[in-house]
């Protein structure tokens, strides 16, 4: 492995610390803005010289902004090995597309990331640049405020492709206009257990929102983690898009809390058993698949929310989500792990982490 | 492992909502294709590709109907390329295929007029762009006043004055 994430403040993990609003239910808030440069083909049709020039131009512009001047690290994604690219993707710093993890779309020449963890810019993704901000908990307001200032700074340094009618021009028309996609990573076990989730998701799709799994487009829903985001990007202002998502997510949080309340009142013994079983398996299992880990972590997180379990912090639960993924386990071991080794390494890591957390908190969880 | 055949590695994860229940099926490519899940084509994961391929008076009809626009003079991409990949070739494609894209954008977003942040650029707009830009901003200003979005209205008024 050659990538060094320790260069980032907090290793790019500050969004995991559970310090943001409603962080028991909402893990993180992310907003991105898609932009392209005038007078050159979009990434998929660009020649190698164009890709290199885009990278240099965007990185130089971003380095000249007050937001990313001194704190940001540059990752030349196209020069990284597969495992390193996977690590950046698992850390949620870059998209699957930029990481080149899809068989049909290998890593693009000129692909790069400039990031300080909370704010970053992906270069030569589907669009020339995608600026993104990531915050702990449910915090659309601050995520957008930071990004808006950064976008304004970048706009004075780069000639963005803009059309008076269609707005910011993007490779795919589904992103045109504002180029804004705001998403909230939310944990909804209460709605899943009470079988209300489908109704809620259908309702969201009727008001212009969509949902995805943990890793964005094309990823499956595991561990009851959903990414809720705006479906359309044109015809509404950035503020309206963000406010609308915010209002809807607020409602979803209320539904989730109500569902948890019902579960806690009507089936307390079942819930306690479910939560402690999940904790017990995580604490003592010797082999864990990623999916099983996500589902068990979901159970423990729910127990934390229901005030049933205090042996583990939200921060630890969030960290386990990230560090139990294949590239993170490989980084920890200092080598690539084979398919049979992965579940064993994962279970060992989870066990050690939970033991340490319980030890710090004392036998009664206090 | 594939949920259906139990033999091949699952590479397709299909989340569906049936009777108010979310289910996720893990399928290999062969079983996914068997069940009618299209995966192999370029751009198949894009929401747009299904949209473009919709039969009847959908977006595909919009893009194939009318006068053939010919390729974009800047990058050489054609509407056929766009239909295949779901992606345009360059920013100039928006001008080259303007009527078709206007219709498509309306279908995707419910609107084709951008009302968000305005971009004047690192440099001022070309002279030929000015009358068009002024017309668009005046229309936006009228709408901003109608919807009592006075902050946006003030910004637009300043920009119009600046350009005039």
Say which of B17, B105, B129 has its CB closest to residue A173: B105
Report the residue count for chain B.
Answer: 164
Locate B96 and state its tokens: 């080259």
Lowest mean pLDDT among A79-93, A333-347, B117-131: B117-131
Q: Mean pLDDT over residues A86-111, rounded?
A: 87
Cα-based distances in Å from B149 to A149, A284, A295, B96, B115 = 21, 58, 45, 33, 11
Contacts of A12 (CB under 8 A, 6+ apart): A5, A91, A93, A115, A116, A117
Predicted confidence band of residue A213 (pLDDT cuts 50, 70, 90): confident
Whether the pLDDT of residue B23 is over 80: the answer is: no
At A276 the pLDDT is 95
Given a contact cutoff of 8 angstroms between Cβ atoms, the answer to whether A337 and A345 are in contact is yes
Contact B114 A161 (CB under 8 A): no
A205 touches chain B (CB under 8 A): no
Query: What is the rounded distance in angstroms from the CA atom of residue A208 to the CA atom of residue A202?
Result: 10
Q: What is the mean pLDDT of chain A?
A: 90
A195 touches chain B (CB under 8 A): yes
At A256 the pLDDT is 97
User: What's the half-sphere exposure (Cβ side, CA atoms, 13 Å) at B48?
Assistant: 23
- Look up residue A37 and give its DSSP letter: B
Query: What is the rounded distance in angstroms from the CA atom of residue A99 to the CA atom of residue A106?
Result: 8
Contact B117 A151 (CB under 8 A): yes
Whether the pLDDT of residue A361 is over 80: the answer is: no
Predicted structure pTM score? 0.80
Element (H or E) spanning A61, and its range? Answer: helix A48-63
- Look up residue A173 and give its DSSP letter: G
Q: Determine the residue among A64, A164, A202, A205 to mutate to test chain B binding: the one whose Cβ has the most chain B Cβ atoms within 10 Å.
A: A164
Give me the interface pTM, i.e. the ipTM. Answer: 0.87
Q: Determine the residue among B96, B114, B120, B130 to mutate to test chain A binding: the one whose Cβ has the most chain A Cβ atoms within 10 Å.
A: B114
Say which of B46, B87, B110 has its CB closest to residue A235: B110
Locate A113 and state its tokens: 């990331």
pLDDT in tens, B27-46: 777 777 666 664 433 333 34
Which residues does chain A have within 8 Å of residue B86's beta carbon, measured at their own beta carbons?
A: 172
Given a contact cutoff of 8 angstroms between Cβ atoms, the answer to whether A91 and A13 are in contact is yes
Whether the pLDDT of residue B61 is over 90: the answer is: no
Contact B45 A217 (CB under 8 A): yes
* Closest residue in B to A167 (Cα–Cα): B114
Contact A40 B104 (CB under 8 A): no
Q: Mean pLDDT over residues A277-296, rounded?
A: 95
Which residues does chain B have within 8 Å of residue A44's beta carbon, measured at their own beta carbons?
A: 85, 87, 89
Contact B15 A166 (CB under 8 A): no
Which residues does chain A have within 8 Å of residue B95's beta carbon, measured at their own beta carbons?
A: 163
Whether the pLDDT of residue A158 is over 90: the answer is: yes
Query: What is the rounded distance in angstroms from the CA atom of residue B34 to the CA atom of residue A263?
Result: 40
Identify any residues that bridge with A73 across adjacent strands, giving them in sequence order. A115
Q: Determine the residue among B63, B109, B144 to mutate to test chain A binding: the one whose Cβ has the most chain A Cβ atoms within 10 Å.
A: B109
Locate A54 and state its tokens: 């885009």
In DSSP notation, B117-130 reads -----SSPPPGGGH
Which residues does chain A have within 8 Å of residue B89's beta carbon, measured at their own beta carbons?
A: 41-42, 44-45
At B17 the pLDDT is 58
Q: Determine the residue among A46, A128, A173 to mutate to test chain B binding: the one whose Cβ has the most chain B Cβ atoms within 10 Å.
A: A173
At B128 the pLDDT is 57
A297 touches chain B (CB under 8 A): no
Cα-based distances in Å from B105 to A245, A331, A340, B42, B51 = 21, 44, 48, 21, 12
Q: Taking Cα atoms as reference points, which of A268, A280, A250, A277 lies closest to residue A306?
A: A268
Whether the pLDDT of residue A70 is over 80: the answer is: no
Whether the pLDDT of residue B92 is over 70: the answer is: yes
């Amino acid at each position: 492995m050659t990538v060094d994430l320790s260069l980032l403040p907090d290793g790019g993990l500050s969004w995991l610390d559970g310090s943001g609003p409603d962080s028991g239910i909402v893990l993180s808030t992310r907003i991105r803005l898609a932009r392209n440069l005038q007078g050159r083909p979009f990434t998929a049709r660009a020649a190698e010289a164009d890709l290199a020039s885009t990278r240099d131009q965007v990185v130089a512009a971003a380095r000249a902004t007050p937001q990313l001047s001194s704190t940001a690290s540059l990752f030349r994604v196209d020069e990284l090995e597969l495992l390193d690219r996977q690590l950046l993707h698992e850390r949620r710093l870059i998209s699957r597309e930029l990481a080149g993890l899809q068989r049909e779309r290998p890593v693009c020449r000129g692909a790069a990331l400039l990031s300080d963890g909370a704010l970053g810019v992906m270069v030569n993704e589907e669009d020339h640049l995608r600026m993104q901000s990531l915050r702990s908990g449910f915090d659309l307001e601050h995520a957008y405020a930071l990004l808006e200032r950064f976008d304004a700074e970048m706009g004075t340094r780069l000639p963005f492709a803009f059309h008076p009618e269609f707005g910011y021009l993007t490779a795919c028309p589904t992103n045109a206009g504002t180029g804004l996609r705001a998403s909230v990573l939310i944990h909804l076990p209460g709605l899943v257990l009470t079988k209300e989730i489908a109704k809620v998701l259908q309702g969201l799709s009727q008001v212009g929102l969509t949902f995805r799994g943990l890793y964005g487009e094309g990823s499956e829903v595991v561990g009851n983690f959903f990414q809720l985001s705006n479906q359309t990007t044109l015809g509404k202002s950035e503020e309206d898009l963000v406010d609308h998502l915010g209002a809807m997510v607020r409602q979803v949080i209320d539904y989730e809390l109500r569902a948890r309340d019902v579960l806690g009142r009507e089936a307390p013994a079942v819930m306690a058993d479910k939560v402690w079983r999940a904790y017990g398996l995580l604490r003592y299992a010797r082999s864990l698949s990623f999916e099983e880990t996500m589902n068990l972590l979901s159970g423990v997180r729910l127990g934390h929310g229901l005030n049933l379990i205090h042996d583990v912090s939200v921060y630890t639960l969030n960290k386990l989500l990230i560090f139990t993924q294949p590239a993170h386990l490989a980084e920890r071991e200092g080598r690539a792990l084979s398919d049979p080794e992965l579940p064993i390494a994962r279970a060992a890591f989870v066990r050690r982490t939970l033991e340490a957390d319980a030890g710090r908190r004392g036998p009664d969880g206090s | 492992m594939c949920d259906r055949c139990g033999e091949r590695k699952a590479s397709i994860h299909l989340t569906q909502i049936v009777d108010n229940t979310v289910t996720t099926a893990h399928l290999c490519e062969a079983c996914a294709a068997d069940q009618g899940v299209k995966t192999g084509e370029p751009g198949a994961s894009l929401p747009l590709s299904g949209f473009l391929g919709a039969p009847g008076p959908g977006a595909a009809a919009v893009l194939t109907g009318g006068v053939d626009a010919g390729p974009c003079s800047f990058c050489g991409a054609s509407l056929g390329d766009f239909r295949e990949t779901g992606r345009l070739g360059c920013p100039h494609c928006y001008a080259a295929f303007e009527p078709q894209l206007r219709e498509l954008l309306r279908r995707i977003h419910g609107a084709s007029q951008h009302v968000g942040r305005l971009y004047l650029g690192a440099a001022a707009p070309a002279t030929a762009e000015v009358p068009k830009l002024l017309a668009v901003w005046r229309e936006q200003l009228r709408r901003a006043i109608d919807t009592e979005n006075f902050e946006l209205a003030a910004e637009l008024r300043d920009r119009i004055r600046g350009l005039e």
